């Protein structure tokens, strides 16, 4: 980040500090060696010198980076207009100072100020929808313009998608996102970087096409392509100081070295790594280069390196490199989040084994039992796949990885192993990645629709298989079924299903499998459309439901608590005791929610436990799902478990 110039003024007594405060000059007490004084930054220098009735004769460097010592001189016989902060007119006309002093003042104070005012023409406001445009413009001129060196346009598409800009002009678009990104579905947090958010309307999610600027888990902005900065929430609604503070933080993040260096690569692309002519590997500063494939050896142990060279590298070369025609770099996160595994934006394609793009915890229930119908031979926990970029699915709609910014593949589970299953799954994964990267937008949309259809079919088929199995034995077990309705929950669910099936046969209303299949598919689609539901899938006789972030109003206090996003697992075979709730955002004190234990089991309460068997027995999973959401967003303070709500983070006061 570019260093701000600060100036040390020695021997400033209390009366002079009072003069500075009267003119609202921002300064700080400072000691340099044995000398005491104050320090001003470059934005306060001109006004500060006027308030002190002093002029700068010279600026001298010090041992502290960014701090300069000013040699100053007293100015006497000042015109009254000077004390009011008038500028160049007084300095040119007054006889109170010499020509040499005027020349120095002209150069040190006013020339710099004049240059800043001239830069205003390079920061333009277009299609503004908000308040305080001139103040946003001033910050862009102060922070971004000196680094970008080209015209800047700030606009407010106001909750609309826009395409990344082309050409030399740098664009800042507030409350917008790239055209191909998702809808405005992200909850805007109460605070960003510790500053309260003025307007909390829903914000955009990152597209995965560029560099994401974050405050912990929340994506604040995204730098896409060569010259478009998208700010995801309504940052200029009121023009308040808090909004300007967040805007300043975003701009400072853009010009920070770790981000701005990536921007410079967009403007001046790095030459791709050329294939090595020799077969022997060449080591350079911990990086191993073998033809056009690079292995970041810092993350692999000797066994893994040998396995990568012998088994995985040939698969990558054959299934992926020949398709995308790009150099590839391999990294191994080893099941730990590392800063070095953040997405890269150079000309290579990066593959991260057992890694995540953001800080998260691994959990066992996230690890798929199989992929592409091949058993995954691991019991290690997997990272949660985020909403960024493109998701890789197997043929049954299970998540197998994600690609961020078109050049970073993250594999969230262990895949390096000698078992044949690992190799088969990895080969399928590379083929799927190549297909996604080389397909058109229309082809990708078609594939995504196919995945959604596959999930619906899996749900319908599973429900149908369970129902047909019950119908098959229903006639022989009518008496037994009637007597078991009031038994244990798992037996009660099975009994009700068999009873209903038999009644259909006895009344002559039995439907064929096609009718049931159609109804189950309709029910599945309705569940996908439910409020607060992000994704619904059917895997291995289980209904898997991912929710949005859920909140809970305190039953006795005027406040709202953030609980988190959940994965709800509902067995389709009728086992009520195996319903699980897993918090994907946070666990507090070993609990997934106030009434949910660490292993996902919940204390549902007598009323809910009474109605669950009947809903599951009759395949009424949509009302069951609604009840689960209400349960997670509730806390019974009379129950010791419900009192755990006090431990969950408060996001806002409840609206009366």
pLDDT of 283 above 70: no
Give the pLDDT confidence score for residue 101 in this predicted structure: 56
Question: Any idea which of 40-44, 405-409, 431-435 has the lowest mean pLDDT?
Answer: 40-44
Query: What average pLDDT score do residues 251-264 get?
Result: 73
User: What pLDDT does residue 86 have?
Assistant: 41
- Residue 230 has a pLDDT of 92
Per-residue model confidence as pLDDT tens digits over 69-101: 776 655 544 434 343 444 444 455 555 555 655
pLDDT digits (tens, 9 = 90+) for 126-174: 888 888 888 899 999 999 888 887 889 999 998 888 988 887 889 999 9
Query: Mean pLDDT lowest for which of 71-75, 105-109, 496-500?
Result: 105-109
Q: Which segment of 266-270, 325-329, 352-356, 642-646 scores lowest on mean pLDDT?
A: 266-270
Q: Label residues 410-423 b or e (16+ Cβ within 10 Å = b).
A: bbbbbbbbeeeebb
pLDDT score of 137: 92
Reply yes or no on whether the pLDDT at 256 is more than 70.
yes
Per residue in 14-39, pLDDT (tens digit) is: 888 898 888 888 888 888 877 888 88
pLDDT at site 140: 92
Half-sphere exposure of 461 (CA within 13 A, CB side): 12
Alpha helices by DSSP H, 405-547: 420-438, 441-474, 478-483, 489-506, 513-528
Instruction: Check residue 397 and give its pLDDT.
Output: 80
Cα distance between residue 59 and residue 429, in whole Å: 62
* Between 455 and 505, residue with greater pLDDT: 455
Stronger pLDDT, 186 or 223, i.e. the higher one: 223
pLDDT at residue 414, as a whole number: 92
Q: Is there a contact between 151 and 168 (Cβ–Cβ < 8 Å)? A: yes
Supply the pLDDT for residue 156. 93
The pTM of this model reads 0.41
pLDDT band at residue 473, thresholds of 50, 70 and 90?
low
Q: Has residue 637 got a pLDDT over 70?
A: yes
Winning range, highest mean pLDDT, from 206-220, 452-466, 504-518, 586-600:
586-600
Predicted local confidence at residue 279, as pLDDT: 39
* pLDDT at res. 398: 84
b/e per residue, 100-125, with b = 16+ CB within 10 A?
Answer: eebebbeebbeeeeeebeeeeebbee
pLDDT for residue 102: 58
Q: Which residues contact 212 (CB under 8 A, 6 or more apart)?
A: 206, 219, 221, 222, 343, 388
Regarding predicted confidence, which is higher, 297 or 58?
A: 297
Helix (H, G, I), strand (E, B) or coil at 230: strand
Give the pLDDT score at 6. 79
Q: Minimum mean pLDDT among 230-239, 435-444, 525-534: which range? A: 435-444
Q: 290-343, pLDDT tens digit by residue?
A: 335 778 767 888 888 889 888 998 899 888 887 887 778 899 998 888 877 888
Half-sphere exposure for 442 (CA within 13 Å, toward CB):
0
pLDDT for residue 425: 95
3-state secondary structure (DSSP) of residue 338: coil
Q: What is the pLDDT of residue 99?
A: 61
CB atoms within 10 A of CB 73: 13
- pLDDT for position 262: 58
Cβ(142)–Cβ(98) under 8 Å? no
Across 611-619, average pLDDT: 80
Comparison of pLDDT for 56 and 163, the residue scoring more: 163
Residue 653 is encoded by which pair of tokens? Answer: 């006061």
- Predicted confidence band at 494 (pLDDT cuts at 50, 70, 90)? low
CA distance 24 to 336: 49
pLDDT at 428 over 60: yes
Query: What is the mean pLDDT of the segment spanning 513-539?
Result: 87
Dist CA 602 CA 595 (whole Å): 6
What's the pLDDT at 289?
31
Of 148, 152, 147, residue with least CA distance to 171: 152
Q: How many CA atoms lie within 13 A of 62 on its CB side?
A: 20
Q: What is the average pLDDT value for the chain, to the nearest integer?
A: 78
Looking at residue 172, its pLDDT comes to: 95
What's the pLDDT band for 9 if we cut at 50, 70, 90?
Answer: confident
Residues 375-397 pLDDT 10s: 998 888 899 888 778 889 888 88
- Over residues 117-127, the mean pLDDT reads 68
CA–CA separation, 656 and 644 (whole Å): 23
111: pLDDT strictly greater than 70: no
| Mean pLDDT confidence for 632-636 | 92
> What per-residue confidence (pLDDT) applies to 73?
58
Looking at per-residue confidence, does 422 or 340 come out higher?
422
């Amino acid at each position: 980040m570019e260093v701000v110039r600060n100036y040390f003024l020695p021997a400033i007594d209390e009366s002079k500090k009072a003069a500075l405060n009267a003119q609202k000059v921002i300064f700080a007490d400072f000691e340099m060696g044995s000398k005491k004084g104050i320090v001003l930054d470059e934005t306060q220098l001109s006004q500060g010198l006027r308030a002190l009735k002093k002029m700068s004769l010279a600026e001298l460097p010090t041992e502290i980076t960014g701090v300069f010592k000013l040699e100053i001189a007293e100015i006497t016989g000042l015109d009254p207009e000077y004390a009011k902060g008038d500028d160049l007119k007084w300095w040119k006309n007054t006889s109170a100072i010499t020509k040499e002093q005027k020349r120095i003042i002209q150069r040190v104070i006013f020339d710099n100020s004049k240059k800043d005012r001239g830069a205003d023409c390079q920061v333009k406001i277009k299609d503004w929808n908000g308040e305080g445009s001139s103040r946003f413009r001033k910050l862009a001129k102060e922070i971004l313009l000196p680094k970008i060196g080209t015209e800047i346009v700030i606009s407010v598409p106001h909750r609309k998608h826009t395409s990344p800009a082309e050409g030399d002009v740098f664009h800042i678009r507030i409350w917008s996102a790239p055209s191909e990104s998702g809808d405005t579905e992200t909850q805007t947090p109460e605070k960003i970087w510790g500053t309260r958010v003025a307007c909390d309307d829903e914000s955009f999610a990152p597209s995965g096409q560029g560099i994401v600027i974050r405050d912990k888990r929340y994506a604040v902005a995204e730098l896409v392509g060569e010259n478009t900065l998208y700010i995801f929430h309504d940052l200029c609604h009121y023009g308040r100081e808090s909004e300007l503070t967040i805007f300043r933080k975003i701009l400072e993040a853009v010009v920070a070295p770790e981000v701005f260096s990536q921007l410079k690569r967009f403007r001046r692309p790095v030459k791709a790594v050329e294939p090595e002519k020799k077969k022997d590997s060449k080591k350079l500063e911990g990086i191993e280069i073998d033809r056009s494939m690079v292995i970041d050896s810092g993350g692999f142990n000797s066994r893994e390196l040998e396995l990568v060279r012998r088994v995985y590298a040939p698969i990558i070369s054959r299934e992926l490199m020949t398709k995308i025609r790009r150099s590839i770099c391999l990294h191994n996160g080893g099941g730990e989040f590392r800063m070095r595994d953040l997405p890269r934006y150079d000309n290579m394609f990066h593959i991260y084994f057992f890694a995540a793009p953001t800080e998260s915890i691994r959990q066992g229930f996230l690890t798929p039992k199989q992929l592409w119908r091949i058993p995954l031979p691991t019991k290690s926990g997997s990272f949660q796949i985020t909403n960024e970029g493109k998701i890789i699915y197997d043929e049954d709609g299970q998540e197998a990885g994600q690609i961020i910014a078109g050049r970073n593949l993250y594999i969230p589970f262990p895949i390096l192993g000698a078992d044949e299953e690992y190799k088969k799954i990895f080969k399928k994964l590379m083929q799927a990645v190549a297909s996604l990267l080389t397909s058109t937008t229309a082809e990708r949309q078609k594939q995504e629709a196919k995945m959604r259809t596959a999930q619906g079919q899996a749900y319908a088929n599973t429900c149908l298989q369970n129902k047909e199995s019950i119908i098959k034995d229903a006639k022989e077990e009518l008496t037994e079924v009637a007597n078991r309705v009031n038994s244990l929950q798992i037996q009660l669910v099975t009994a009700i299903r068999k009873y209903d099936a038999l009644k259909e046969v006895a009344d002559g209303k039995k439907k064929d499998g096609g009718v049931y299949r159609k109804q189950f598919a309709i029910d599945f689609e309705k569940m996908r459309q439910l409020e607060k539901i992000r994704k619904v899938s059917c895997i291995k006789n289980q209904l898997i439901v991912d929710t949005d972030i859920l909140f809970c109003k305190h039953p006795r206090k005027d406040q709202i608590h953030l609980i988190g996003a959940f994965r709800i697992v509902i067995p389709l075979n009728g086992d009520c005791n195996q319903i699980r709730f897993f918090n994907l955002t946070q666990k507090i004190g070993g609990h997934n929610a106030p009434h949910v234990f660490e292993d996902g089991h919940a204390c549902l309460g007598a009323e809910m436990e009474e109605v669950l068997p009947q809903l599951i027995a009759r395949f009424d999973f949509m009302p069951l799902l609604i009840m689960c959401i209400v349960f997670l967003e509730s806390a019974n303070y009379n129950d010791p478990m419900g009192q755990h709500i006090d431990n969950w983070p408060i996001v806002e006061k409840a609206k009366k």
